[in-house]
Structure 1
Amino acid sequence: MGLRERKKEKTRLAILDAALELFLEQGYESTTVEQIAGAVDISPRTFFRYFTSKDHLVLWFHDHGEEIMLETLDSRPEDEPAFTSLMHAVRAVLHDIESSTPDETERFLKLRRLLDDQPRLVGLSVARGATTERNLVEAVAARRGVNPDEDQLSHLIVAFASCAMRVGFECPRHDATVPEITRRMAETIELAERSLRPGWDR
Structure 2
Amino acid sequence: MTVDAADAPGRRERKKQRTRDALARAALELFTTKGFEATTVDEIAEAVDVSQRTFYRYYPAKEDVAFAVQAISEDHFVEALRARPAHEAPFEAMRNAMLAAWDTIEEAVGEVVPVELHMRTYQVIESTPALLAVRIRRSLETEEKIARILAAREGLDLDTDPRPRIAVAAFGSAMQVADRIWNARGDHSREAIRAIAADCLDQLRPAVAESWRT
Identity %: 32
Q: TM-score, normalised by structure 1?
A: 0.78
- Aligned position for 1:77: 85
Q: 1:74 to 1:183 in 2, by over 3 A?
A: closer
1:64 matched to 2:75? The reply is no
Q: Aligned runs of 1:46-125 on 2, under 5 Å?
A: 46-97=54-105, 104-125=114-135
CA distance 1:190–1:26, change in 2 (3 Å)? closer
Deviation at 1:40, TM superposition (A): 0.4
Deviation, structure 1 residue 143: 1.6
1:55 CA drift (Å):
0.4
Structure 2: segments with no counterpart, 5+ residues:
1-9, 210-214
Is residue 134 from structure 1 mapped to residue 144 from structure 2 by the alignment?
yes
- TM-score by structure 2 length? 0.74
Larger radius of gyration: 2
Residues 168, 139 of structure 1: CA spacing in aligned structure 2 closer, same or farther, 3 A cutoff? same
Extract unaligned runs of 5+ from structure 1.
Answer: 198-202
- Which residue pairs with 1:187 in the alignment? 199
With a CA cutoff of 8 Å and minimum separation of 6, indicate the structure with the bigger relative contact order: 1
Asked if the contact 2:24–2:68 (Cα under 8 Å) also holds between the matched residues in 1, the reply is no
Deviation at 1:155, TM superposition (A): 0.8
Check 1:72–1:21 CA distance in 2 against 1; reply closer, same or farther (3 A cut): closer
C-alpha change, 1:31 and 1:70, in structure 2 (3 Å) is same
1:23 maps to 2:34: no
Aligned 8 A contact 1:68 1:93 in 2: yes
Three-state SS of the structure 2 residue aligned to 1:171 is helix
Q: CA deviation at 1:123?
A: 1.7
Residues 65 and 22 from structure 1, CA distance in 2 versus in 1: closer, same or farther, beyond 3 angstroms? closer
Separation in 2, partners of 1:80, 1:116: 32
Distance 1:62 1:113, change over 3 A: closer
> Structure 2 vs 1, CA of residues 69 and 22 (structure 1 numbering), >3 Å: closer, same or farther?
closer
* Residue in 2 that maps onto 1:153: 163
CA distance in 2, matches of 1:3, 1:191: 49
**Cα gap change, 1:66 to 1:124, in 2 (>3 Å):** same
Shift of 1:86: 1.8
Paired residue for 1:200? Answer: none
By how many angstroms is 1:171 displaced?
0.8
Say how many residue pairs are matched.
195
How far, CA to CA, are the matches of 1:76 and 1:86 in structure 2?
8
Contact 2:20 2:58 in 1 (8 A): yes
Shift of 1:27: 4.1
Q: 2:104 aligns to what SS in structure 1?
A: helix
Q: Which moved more, 1:156-165 or 1:105-114?
A: 105-114
Deviations 1:117-170 (A, max 9, x none): 312211211221111101111111122222222211111111122123222222
